[in-house]
Amino acid sequence: MKTKISTLFLLLSITFNLSAQTKTSTKHTFAIADGNFLLDGKPVQIHSGEMHYARIPKPYWRHRLKMMKAMGLNAVATYVFWNYHETAPGVWDFTSGNRNIAEYIKTAQEEGLFVILRPGPYVCAEWEFGGYPWFLQKVPGMVIRGNNEQYLSTTKAYFTALYGQVKNLLVTNGGPIVMVQGENEFGSYVAQRKDIALEEHKKYSAAVFQQLKDVGFNVPFFTSDGSWLFEGGALPGALPTANGEDDVAKLKEVVNKYNGGKGPYMVAEFYPGWLDHWAEPFPKVSTAGIVKQTQKYLDGGVSFNYYMVHGGTNFGFTSGANYDNKHDIQPDLTSYDYDAPISEAGWATEKYNALRDLLKTLETPAVPAKIPVIAIPDINLTKAVDLEDVKNKIKPVNDDKPLTFEALNQGYGYVWYSKKFKQPISGKLELNGLRDYAIVYVNGAKVAELNSYYKKYDCEIDIPFNATLDIVVENMGRINYGAKIIESSKGIISPVVINGQTITGNWDMYKLPMDVVPNLSAEKNTATAGKPTIYEGSFTINKIGDTFLDMRDWGKGIVFINSINIGRYWSVGPQQTLYVPGCWLKAGANSIVIFEQKNDIMHKTVKSVIDPILEDLKPENGLPK
């Protein structure tokens, strides 16, 4: 009983101190001193949730932040995705789509939440290339996450651009940003890259940390690593925090070791759910376990950040990938639901309600109303165009050998590789340099599907006289975690071999980045089963609301709604629906375009449902043929 009373008193005092943030221009101070987090000189405990602006439609930012506040939290943490803002070398975008990070942070402040900023430059996050711009791989001599001038000059430019957006939002300038992270989970990378001396690793992390300070960030800093990885990840002058550490005594012991024998103590990533890959089961984390662990932190005086409190969606081509011994790539789902307390569509879950019951105080606001959900009648697809017709209007790049996406100056999407054979050849086609997924055709007939997930890189092939070999390759997302992040080229990255012979000379490459919705206005219905196809349709609605496209009858591809790429689908599951935010729909006419890569059957309609399907695993639907 004494523990419960003291916890309640602590929560009430925290709420009182942090409520001063709400919708006022009051300037606060925030510091790490005397073993505590100090707000206006008084000890506070941070109850934060991770939520990324890039994974939520901008019109829904405020709703999701209100959901966090109503759960009893007092802070929001967010990564900053470098590649989301530097869209081409030296070209910065902090305004379009969901990219206005300054507005996101201001909205958090208006809703009474402090902000923890995690700028990387590396972020992991199940995000494409861990947040790095793909074109860094084109810079001669550059080694990412390394102590070299080519790389550090680009991180300095990134930090400078970011600081220009958020400098007025630092707590020192009256804003809500109370802490900034120096690098991310660097201790993990040190452990993974034992080929690099610890001293050299430390030079790099110190250089990045100094850059953050040099450009102007002047709030308390922290690092986050597994508790056993502090030797590689901790930085002098930054508070070490322990990701995923549930043993409070161990947490305090390891922080004391690297922080002068004192706290404060924080778990910067407390996992109420877990990440998801295509072709693998959707992992679940029990509500009871998360509630119990939260109570341990409350009783132990440990601050925490739920990663994720709300995951959102990997719209477009933003999802990253992992790998293991059985799979050369494990692409992340479009949905970043994460089994989080707040679902992908912003709904309060059982986990949310249980944590709210634990964290709420007398001042905690009511839970916001759920955004309406609608079912759209079957959408008729009125146009079906063979992708080859679109490809034939593109001027190819010609080279003696297949070129990577990067060599073609293309970051995402697809490349169509084509070669004409004047003499017949047959035998085993070996595509050991495939990154990541390919469909192989001879004279327009599908021969095989190859992909890096199943480590399927070869097939038997028979190319007759005067025939054409076509290989349509998809980038399924660059590695976002692990030593192999430095091996992130896409496309065909090594020679094509048939019957032991390297096939060189006169390769044509057609770039299909799908960065904008395909324009089919001048195209005719030419599609046939077995060839990649672009479908187009329209639908009319009177009432706007969120919905979910049901892709269970489809193969593999992407969907555009009103010209917005809402993400990838793949029949292997476990995700079988695509979230369509109502804020991206219009009362009246709406458009849909679907690029279906496999197109084993012709489609005439696409359906919607009112509940997501995220746990329907059918790996047999993706096995190479």
Residues designated as active site: 185, 269
Task: Kindly report the backbone phi and psi dihedral angles of residue 225, in degrees, each rounded to the nearest multiple of 5, phi listed first.
Answer: -155, 165
Report, in angstroms and rounded to the nearest whole number, the Rg of the chain calculated over CA atoms: 25
Task: Kindly report the backbone phi and psi dihedral angles of residue 428, in degrees, each rounded to the nearest multiple of 5, phi listed first.
Answer: -85, 125
Q: Is the dihedral of CA 564, 164, 219, 482 positive or negative?
A: positive
Per DSSP, the residues of 356-373 read HHHH--TTPPPPPPPPPB
Is residue 449 a contact partner of residue 550, using CB atoms and an 8 Å limit?
A: no
Per DSSP, the residues of 506-571 read -EEEEEE---S----TT------TTS-EEEEEEEEESS--BEEEE-TT--EEEEEETTEEEEEEET
Q: What is the Cα 151 distance to its own chain's centre?
A: 22
Rounded to an integer, what distance in angstroms lies between the CA atom of residue 431 and that of residue 442?
A: 15
Rounded to an integer, what distance in angstroms lies between the CA atom of residue 163 and that of residue 161?
A: 6
Q: 255-279: b or e for each residue (b if 16 or more CB lie within 10 Å)? A: beebbeeebbbbbbbbbbbebbbbb
The burial class, CB within 10 Å (0-12 / 13-18 / 19+), for 142 is: middle
* Structure token digits, residue 435: 């990154």
Rounded to an integer, what distance in angstroms lies between the CA atom of residue 89 and that of residue 99?
A: 17
Rounded to an integer, what distance in angstroms lies between the CA atom of residue 31 and that of residue 20?
A: 16
3-class DSSP state of 418? strand
C-alpha dist (Å) from residue 324 to 453, 479, 621: 10, 11, 21
H or E element that contains 33: strand 30-33
Q: Is the dihedral of CA 194, 198, 203, 208 positive or negative?
A: positive
Is residue 227 a contact partner of residue 168, using CB atoms and an 8 Å limit?
A: no
**Total Cβ atoms within 10 A of residue 348:** 17
The burial class, CB within 10 Å (0-12 / 13-18 / 19+), for 326 is: exposed
Closest of 508, 501, 603 to residue 556, by C-alpha:
603
C-alpha dist (Å) from residue 289 to 281, 466, 591: 20, 64, 44
Q: What is the 3-state secondary structure (H, E, C) of 566-584?
A: EEEEECCCCCCEEEECHHH
C-alpha dist (Å) from residue 606 to 58, 372, 378, 562: 26, 21, 6, 15
H or E element that contains 253: helix 248-258
C-alpha dist (Å) from residue 598 to 28, 38, 210, 277, 614: 57, 57, 49, 20, 21
The burial class, CB within 10 Å (0-12 / 13-18 / 19+), for 414 is: buried
Which amino acid type is present at position 48? Answer: S
